[in-house]
Amino acid sequence: MRTPVIAGNWKMYKTAREAGETIRLLCDLVADVSGVEIVVCPPFTALPAAVEAARGSRVAVGAQDCHWEKAGAFTGEVAVPMIAELGASHVIVGHSERRQYFGETDATVDKKVEAVLAAGLCPIACVGETLKEREAGQTLAVLERQVRDGLARHLGTRALVVAYEPVWAIGTGKTATPAQAQEVHAFLRKLTAKLAGQPVADGLRILYGGSVKPDTISALMAEPDVDGGLVGGASLDAASFAKICFCARAQKQ
Ligand code: PEP
């Protein structure tokens, strides 16, 4: 039995004050949601306020990126020990916006996941194909490359969470159908079994991300290999995100 995870990626939205307000509201709304891990990932600047607002609640706090070195001359970057010291427990790695705009590669994903695990935090590692790759019939080949080059070494680590995020579905309002998500999630689980063994594959949480909304999460979560969601836009509003958490729990009980 895999405990579902619902994680919110706030991207470059919300000041520290706004983040604190939203998380306080969210904590009240999800106080009764057991059996689902709930994570909110605000911008770096809001992490201390987010951790403070979430203290003693069911809500965990994560960062959206990190550097792979512990310290060094890397202007503008943030190291995992800095994130850990603030009380965050998760780090999103390899988001498609990082890959598209900031030069993230499978090789840097591999190093970042290693750094997150070394600090005792949970990486939420993102993989996913572009529309062009899907239309060219390359979806599974692209995912296999991203897993082999970015994640293979870490698959046996229980803290690792994988998020399948088709790039064409992120922020577009176009969700993958439950069948499309299930096809990819089943493929990722099978590949994990091949690379790290069946018990690892059976325990790996694979989230779906891409325009998840309160009215689409239930059908996605009804699929056997969908273990939760990575939610962008719909996680910015506490009520909408809480609804997604409730639906996720209802579906996997
Ligand atoms: C994301 O940012 O990871 C994401 C899935 O965004 P959205 O839900 O807005 O598509």
Structure confidence by residue, pLDDT tens digits, 171-209: 898 889 999 999 999 999 999 999 999 999 999 999 999
Decide whether any atom of ligand 1 lies within 6 Å of the 170 Cβ. yes
67 labelled catalytic: no
- List CB contacts of 161: < 8 A, sequence separation 6 or more: 5, 7, 90, 122, 123, 124, 125, 204, 205, 206, 207
CATH topology of domain 5-252: TIM Barrel (3.20.20)
Calculate how far, in angstroms, residue 71's C-alpha sits from the geometric centre of ligand 1.
30
Q: Is the CB of 231 under 6 A from ligand 1?
A: yes
Q: So what's the pLDDT on residue 251?
A: 75
Cα(211) to ligand 1 centroid in Å equals 5
Q: Are 58 and 27 in contact (CB under 8 A)?
A: yes
List the chain pLDDT tens, one digit each, 253 residues: 899 999 999 999 999 999 999 999 999 999 999 999 999 999 999 999 999 999 999 999 999 999 999 999 999 999 999 999 999 999 999 999 999 999 999 999 999 999 999 999 999 999 999 999 999 999 999 999 999 999 999 999 999 999 999 999 998 988 899 999 999 999 999 999 999 999 999 999 999 999 999 999 999 999 999 999 999 999 999 999 999 999 988 777 6
165 is catalytic: yes
Residue 16: its pLDDT value, please?
98
49, amino acid identity: A
Beta carbon of 230 within 6 Å of any ligand 1 atom:
yes
> Rounded to two decimals, what is the model's pTM?
0.97
